[in-house]
Amino acid sequence: MSAIIMAFRKAVNKAKLSEEEQKHVRECFICNEEFKDPRLLECYHTFCFECVKEYIDANCKGDSFRCPLCKTESKLPENGPEAFEKNCFVGDVREGQGDGKVKHSCDVCGEKSKAASFCYECNQKLCKFCVTFHEKLQATKDHNVAGLDESGARKVKRKPKCPAHDKNELQYFCEECKELICIDCNMTSHKRHKSRDVVEVADEFRRELALEINKDEYFQHLECLSDYSKNIKKKHDANAGREDKLMNSFEEQLEAFQKVLNDIKLDFISEISDTGMASETEEKDGRNTMERRFKSFAAIYFFSQLLLDQADDTAVVSHTVSLRKRLEILSADNGSKNNTPKEGGIVFEPGNLDKAILKELFGKLRDPDMEEEENRKSNAQKEESNGKPEFVYKFDCPPGDCVVSGIAPTDSDAAWVCVGAESTVHLFTVEGKCEKTVMFSHVLDDVTFMSGRGYITSNGANMVRTVDTTGRKSVYTKAEMCIRGIVADTTKNIIFAGCVENDAFFDVKPGDISSILSIEKGKGITSIPMSRDVPYPARLALNGTGNIVISDWVAQAVMIQDDAGKVMACYKGDKDNSGNKSDFNPRGICVDDDGNIYVVNIDTDTIEMLDSSGKYLKDILDTGDELSSPWSVACDKSNRLWIGSQNGNIMIFSLSEQNGTEKEQTAETTNSGNGRGSTSGSSGRSQSRNGNDQSGSSTPDQRNLSRNKSGSETSSKDGSRDGHSRASTGSNNSCK
């Protein structure tokens, strides 16, 4: 027997656990103090009686509760927490192994009597004389008394009674029922079962339990849990002063910006604070989880050692089967293996304070007349080269089959994407990574960007709301009419918004009012004079000369209006200026740095390009470029087109001019094949539409039902193409 115990202790030493870690076995997990009246749960975790009683009172549902340490479901005994078995084995650990030099006196007789036993209920050491009376007294005869050896270490010797025959000791082990029984049970209810003497079974179980807990995988699991906890603590200690270092680093970098870029400083502080809180929370959660797992396994692991050291035969037999199962279950938890926390964290990397970059951020001098002339020359050159935009990236916008109703590129390689019917905006990078998702309580429509914030119109709530990159929302302004299209003049910090009487364009009636509002922070709302030729300004853009470019969904036209309300130009699909209107139903609209206008034509699934005066130049993208049901369009500062579809797709194309003979030849071949700008190309698109109708597109009745259900175009994809037929009936036809 001693050889088995020595082998076990050698295995424990191999685990190389610190004294700090080993002390967990003698501390209550709830109060983190030494056990007082320790009680053993079914999962073999020990808690103070008062601690577990309070925990059960607060957490027990019905007749069961979860262990505070391992969360295993435990049944509440019929007699309450008092019926939980006392853990008589933690006393040896609490008191420590004696060295043979300290005299252990009887707590009843005094210092002259040498203690020979220890009562767990009375928490007293007793001499041989006192223990005799202790075992005879009616009030104490059933107490758990452990013997003390010469060193003062306790050797528990219990005499458990049979629950069915309270005067009989449990002397046998039923191998069929796997439980201890008395002599009467052995002759009655278990007489047909094979049973063995508890002494014989105890020797066998001791060997099996010693071999079980001596497995390498168990103390390796202990070491793994211990090492992970240590590494998390090291990381926490290493990061303790990281935030102060970061603050000092970027304070030096921000000295040059202190007066004009104070907002950036506040953003850095907020970002570092958020990152530090997230990191601290992650470390704390990981540390608590691993400490819980360590304590859970260590408690049972060392309980097994104590059982081998101190328990009598009945105790070994009583617990070995369940102990082995618990050890196997807990050691199978591989959540911490090969999961060493990574060192390091965020650092501050100073940017290059280049004078040219700062000057560009501050502003620039420009001559609009000269720019317009240069734009004409540039457009002529582009038309001659017939260069095509280059495909950059394509990704899906959640929830998938949805109308991307608006797109607003930011100052960086990202854009706010509005999914109106879902009341959601997403911040996407050009690579399709979603940096932020923000939900609103109203149906949305369009979005623009200015001064670090997205401005979103709510066509049902008659308001403009803002959102920043942290997800903070606010109401920017409210209006008496429905707000649809929106665009920002970043040079003047002014927002322009198109307002209409009805939020759904197909519900517009003759005489309905529309207007364009100028909204400037701190100066209120100003109404811009509105031409009667503009019944429904659903989308807006600015062409760089102070004029507003309007996509009118009722007049089915792109109009350019000056600040006096005069329509300077009107394009209704007359590509060759012959007076013949082609299939044209505009939706999204935007303007690039050269003043070129890009408009989505949902009748032909194309992106049409107009010059700054509203003259048609060419179809720049169509179904041959894998466009499918486009709806919204925006141009970012890197001259890239972001195109949102009616089925949740976003495609990005670069407008940079193609270089090289091979690319020019490819463009010429592709353009020739697609027949852009020719009668055959238009015919081909008509055939394509007819083919789609034959293959199962929505009927007029279905489209009308879709419109009535949504009350807005953001939830009606198939109906959007034919809805203009009835809407245009009441429109003003003076725009030729």
CA dist 218 and 330 (Å) reads 9
Highest mean pLDDT among 55-69, 151-165, 557-571: 557-571
- Structure-model confidence comparison of residues 601 and 141, the more confident one: 601
pLDDT of residue 717 exceeding 80: no
* Residue (of 706, 704, 705, 722) closest to 714 by Cα position: 706
**What does the chain come to in residues?**
736
Sign (positive or negative) of CA dihedral 104, 108, 112, 115: negative
Measure Cα distances from 398 to 286, 427, 459, 539, 570 in Å: 31, 12, 21, 23, 36
Mean of the pLDDT values across residues 141-153?
A: 70
The gap from C-alpha 475 to its chain's centroid, in whole angstroms, comes to 26
Q: What is the pLDDT of residue 261?
A: 67
What the block records as the tokens of 479 is 């209006």
User: What are residue 248's phi and psi, to 5 degrees?
Assistant: -65, -40
Measure Cα distances from 330 to 39, 43, 212, 295, 728 in Å: 20, 10, 13, 11, 72
Q: What is the pLDDT of residue 713?
A: 46
CA dist 693 and 706 (Å) reads 17
pLDDT of residue 216 exceeding 80: no
Q: What is the pLDDT of residue 708?
A: 36
Q: What is the pLDDT of residue 101?
A: 46
Helix (H) or strand (E) holding 669: helix 661-674
Angle at 127 between CA 125 and CA 128, to 5 degrees: 135
**Are 273 and 267 spatial neighbours (Cβ–Cβ below 8 Å)?**
no
Q: What is the pLDDT of residue 310?
A: 86
Highest mean pLDDT among 9-13, 192-196, 212-216, 269-273: 192-196
Mean of the pLDDT values across residues 248-257?
A: 67
Q: Which residues of 579-611 are buried (b: 16+ CB within 10 A; e: fewer)?
A: eeebbbbbbbbbbbebbbbbbbbbbbbbbbbbb
Helices and strands per DSSP (H, E), number in the chain: 17, 38
Residue 663 confidence class, pLDDT cut points 50, 70, 90: very low
* DSSP letters for 406-447: EEEE-SSSEEEEEEGGGTEEEEEETTS-EEEEEE-SS----E
User: pLDDT tens across 45-89, in order?
Assistant: 899 999 999 999 888 878 889 898 888 888 888 888 888 888 877
Angle at 425 between CA 419 and CA 430, to 5 degrees: 95
Mean of the pLDDT values across residues 557-573?
A: 91
* DSSP letters for 537-593: EEEEEE-SSSPEEEEETTTTEEEEE-TTS-EEEEESS-TTSSS---S--EEEEEE-T
Q: What is the pLDDT of residue 371?
A: 77
pLDDT of residue 297 exceeding 70: yes
- Structure-model confidence comparison of residues 702 and 283, the more confident one: 283
- Structure-model confidence comparison of residues 696 and 391, the more confident one: 391
> What percentage of the chain's residues is helix, strand, coil (to nearest 5)?
35, 25, 40
Q: DSSP letter at 282?
A: H
Helix/strand/coil for 735:
coil
Amino acid code (one letter) for 112:
K
Which CATH number is 389-660+700-730 given? 2.120.10.30
CB atoms within 10 A of CB 327: 23
pLDDT of residue 687 exceeding 60: no
pLDDT of residue 208 exceeding 70: yes
Highest mean pLDDT among 95-99, 247-251, 615-619: 615-619
User: What are residue 66's phi and psi, to 5 degrees?
Assistant: -100, 140
Amino acid code (one letter) for 293:
R
* DSSP letters for 147-167: EE-TTS-EEE---PBPSSSTT
Highest mean pLDDT among 208-212, 329-333, 537-541: 537-541
Residue 315 confidence class, pLDDT cut points 50, 70, 90: confident
pLDDT of residue 718 exceeding 50: no
Residue 673 confidence class, pLDDT cut points 50, 70, 90: very low
pLDDT of residue 166 exceeding 60: yes
CB atoms within 10 A of CB 332: 9
Helix/strand/coil for 663:
helix
Amino acid code (one letter) for 145:
V
Alpha-helical regions (H) of 163-261: 183-187, 198-213, 216-238, 242-253
Bridge pairing between strands 154-156 and 179-181: unpaired
Amino acid code (one letter) for 706:
S
pLDDT of residue 586 exceeding 90: yes
CA dist 497 and 526 (Å) reads 10
**Mean pLDDT, the chain, as a whole number?**
77
